[in-house]
Structure 1
Amino acid sequence: MSGRIPSRWEERVAADPAHSTWYVERFRALTAQGTDIVGEARLVDAMLERGSRVLDAGCGPGRIGGYLHRAGHVVVGVDVDPVLIEAAEQDHPGPTWLVGDLAELDLPGRGIAAGFDAIVCAGNVMTFLAPSTRGAVLAGFARHLAPDGRAVVGFGADRGYEFPQFFADAEKAGLSVDVRLSTWDLRPFTDGSEFLVAVFSRAA
């Protein structure tokens, strides 16, 4: 761990130790208000058969993985922030929640030897990575996908990771883009889109 590169999220938490708790309480408050915070999970659920194996990559406090578990899927959630994982365990029991670095993703023996049917990476997680680890994270996604599995990644523009570079990195990592959208509710992607939702499969 000594040579590990901290993510931008970890740098933010180091600068403001209360940030993780604020983030948890923000989503708890939105849930209490009845706000729809699981649109990403509904899109992923629509792609899957019941009982599919799902990796929630950068799961945060568990809103997406928790929904997918309740929908009948086998979910593993990974996040680098132990405060967020603790909240996921409290608020969304059932999935396997793990503290871990996506750049070092290695999940043998978790009941997913054949790979995940879906990997979801939402919430701007890609933009919170250390830039030098992005390729490793995407390669980890490709490595952990089942042969017919798909990875769904969403993040906003103007957050330090340009979309063309992301697609180039994904291709280099062994992912082939199947669908490009501008929202989680399936609106088409254009050159002027301010958000990207990309669906990938493993490259042949």
Structure 2
Amino acid sequence: MQTDDATGNEREPVEHFEPLPAGLAATFYRLATPHQRDGLYYRRVLTEHRCHRVLELGCGTGRISDYLTRSGFAVVGIDISPAMLQDGRNQRLAPVAQMDMCRLGFHSRFDAAIIAWNTLNLLGRKAAIRSCLEEVRTVLAPGGLLLLHLFVPDQNLIDHPGQRFFQFSLFDLPAGGRLIKETLRSYDPSAHSLLLEERYKLRFLPNGRANENYRHDLHLAAFPADTWLSLLHTTGFTVHHRQASFEEQSTTHTQPSILLIIAQCAT
């Protein structure tokens, strides 16, 4: 029996989502991160601090590493995902290696290290994050820089714990068709954790291919800014600057979701 608050969509089938294959994850990541706004920021900071030898941790498809290489920096990228490293391998400019960011195997020292795009948040736990920061310190030259792009819970998440917030984006697929990326975020303040549900819907595929649905769930560390500053301090870094967007020069009075940090290891 239909109720008064029926929407007309009660008989819509429940969508089924397959686990996202690693190869498609790399392709979709490249599609969703085409801009160079963060690359311009890193180039400016590295130039101002006269850094030349740069390590990017979690380099993914090489977007930032290759951009900085074209800009004249000597960049090495690492990532734990073979699929990410293989994506566009023949067109890469910066050398890359498959490596755990908590177990760095370098003997040489770098002038700067970059951990971009919330990659450090993906480690989830304070112990793992602390281990990564300690490893980074060992491969930086005295006085070397650490540039971080971190996620922090914004005011909306803080005010509505447990509620799911929805976003979507549309992209053209290289071989034809459209990609619909749906993102649902929910914040658990007791665990300082963010559940990020990423859903990928392939539509209007060529040659009569059926629609495809994929899903990828991530748990991110969702610490407030003060916790990140404390983690850096206890692992031997001094924070010199922080800001809330790639354009701003200082943090705002509102609660943002981006925290950019410039830190320096002991000389």
Q: TM-score range by the shorter chain?
A: 0.7 to 0.9
Q: What stretches of structure 2 of length at least 5 have no aligned partner?
A: 1-17, 154-193, 195-220
Corresponding residue for residue 195 of structure 1? 258
**Of residues 118, 142, 155 in structure 2, which corresponds to 1:124?**
118
Contact 1:78-1:102 at 8 Å conserved across structures: yes
**Of residues 12, 23, 26 in structure 2, which corresponds to 1:24?**
26
Distance change >3 Å, CA 72–CA 88, structure 1 → 2: farther
Cα distance, 1:27 vs. partner? 4.4
Cα distance, 1:51 vs. partner? 8.0
The letter of the residue matching 2:60 is G
Cα distance, 1:54 vs. partner? 0.7
Distance change >3 Å, CA 135–CA 28, structure 1 → 2: closer
Cα distance in structure 1, aligned partners of 2:101 and 2:32: 27
Bigger Rg over Cα: 2
What percent of counterpart residues are identical? 23
Corresponding residue for residue 247 of structure 2? 185
Cα distance, 1:126 vs. partner? 0.9
Corresponding residue for residue 6 of structure 1? none
SS, match of residue 104 in structure 1? coil
Which range is displaced more, 51-60 or 184-193? Answer: 184-193
What is the root-mean-square deviation of aligned Cα atoms in Å? Answer: 2.3
SS, match of residue 101 in structure 1? coil
Contact 2:142-2:266 at 8 Å conserved across structures: no
Contact 1:53-1:73 at 8 Å conserved across structures: yes
Cα distance, 1:87 vs. partner? 1.4
User: Aligned ranges for residues 98-113 of structure 1 at < 5 Å?
Assistant: 98-108=97-107, 113=108
Distance change >3 Å, CA 146–CA 88, structure 1 → 2: farther
User: Aligned ranges for residues 11-50 of structure 1 at < 5 Å?
Assistant: 16-18=19-21, 20-29=22-31, 35-36=34-35, 38-49=36-47
Cα distance in structure 2, aligned partners of 1:27 and 1:127: 17
TM-score relative to the length of structure 1: 0.78
Cα distance, 1:65 vs. partner? 0.3
Cα distance, 1:78 vs. partner? 0.7
Cα distance, 1:171 vs. partner? 0.9
Superposed CA deviations along residues 138-192 of structure 1, whole A, max 9, x for unmatched, are 1112221122321100122234331222211111111110001111223422462
SS, match of residue 105 in structure 1? coil
Cα distance in structure 2, aligned partners of 1:203 and 1:146: 9
TM-score relative to the length of structure 2: 0.61
Cα distance, 1:29 vs. partner? 3.4
- Check if 1:167 corresponds to 2:229: yes
Cα distance in structure 2, aligned partners of 1:200 and 1:91: 32
Distance change >3 Å, CA 51–CA 123, structure 1 → 2: closer
SS, match of residue 23 in structure 1? helix
Contact 2:130-2:235 at 8 Å conserved across structures: yes
Cα distance, 1:86 vs. partner? 1.0
Aligned residues: 179
Cα distance in structure 1, aligned partners of 2:110 and 2:72: 15
Contact 1:88-1:97 at 8 Å conserved across structures: no
Cα distance, 1:26 vs. partner? 2.5
Corresponding residue for residue 89 of structure 1? 89
Contact 2:237-2:264 at 8 Å conserved across structures: yes
Cα distance, 1:198 vs. partner? 0.4
SS, match of residue 102 in structure 2? helix
Contact 1:44-1:118 at 8 Å conserved across structures: no
Cα distance in structure 2, aligned partners of 1:88 and 1:79: 14
The letter of the residue matching 2:46 is L
Corresponding residue for residue 4 of structure 1? none
Corresponding residue for residue 7 of structure 1? none
Q: What stretches of structure 1 of length at least 5 have no aligned partner?
A: 1-14
Corresponding residue for residue 78 of structure 2? 78
More helix by share: 1
- Check if 1:134 corresponds to 2:155: no
Cα distance in structure 2, aligned partners of 1:61 and 1:80: 12
More strand by share: 2
